[in-house]
Amino acid sequence: MANIGDTLESKSLAVNQELINEYAHICGDYNSLHVDVAGMKDHPLFGGTIAHGTINVEPVLQAICAVQGKTWPTEGTTIDLQFRAPVKPGMTISSNLVVKEVQGNSLVCDMQIQDQDGNPCVRGTAVIPV
């Protein structure tokens, strides 16, 4: 088990429009924010399409699964998060989980998902039963 202050293995994901479109097909969310490349090109806030929020969290899910030795987070795993910045095609995002507390058999981690320049896209806390 990890100790307070340990950083868990980081996982990363390269985001492109094809991934976003595939995810839209899986979940049925065809919001123009995600799939309308031409229409979103000149959007004043985003300047292009953005990834679905669940895509943004994928690196953390992968990191949690690596710690648990599973393909999907185990029962009792919780993630409390805030989206801080949009994730756009062409970005590579990665997880950063730092153990801040050990509660019984669970790790309580400060969580961040950041872009390739280190800018936070998502921040929060993850509780990881191990």
Q: Has residue 6 been placed in a domain? A: no
Q: Has residue 5 been placed in a domain? A: no
Q: Has residue 16 been placed in a domain? A: yes
The phi and psi torsions of 87 (rounded to 5 degrees) equal -105, 125
pLDDT tens-digit readout, 13-72:
999 999 999 999 999 999 999 999 999 999 999 999 999 999 999 999 999 999 999 999
pLDDT tens-digit readout, 92-109:
999 999 999 999 999 999
**Nearest by Cα to 113 from 8, 3, 6, 12:** 12
Domain around 98: 12-129
Q: Write the single-letter amino acid at 110.
A: D
Q: Has residue 52 been placed in a domain? A: yes
Q: Has residue 4 been placed in a domain? A: no
CATH number at residue 125: 3.10.129.10
> ∠59-63-67 over CA atoms, to 5°?
170
Q: Has residue 1 been placed in a domain? A: no
Q: Has residue 122 been placed in a domain? A: yes
**Whole-prediction pTM:** 0.93
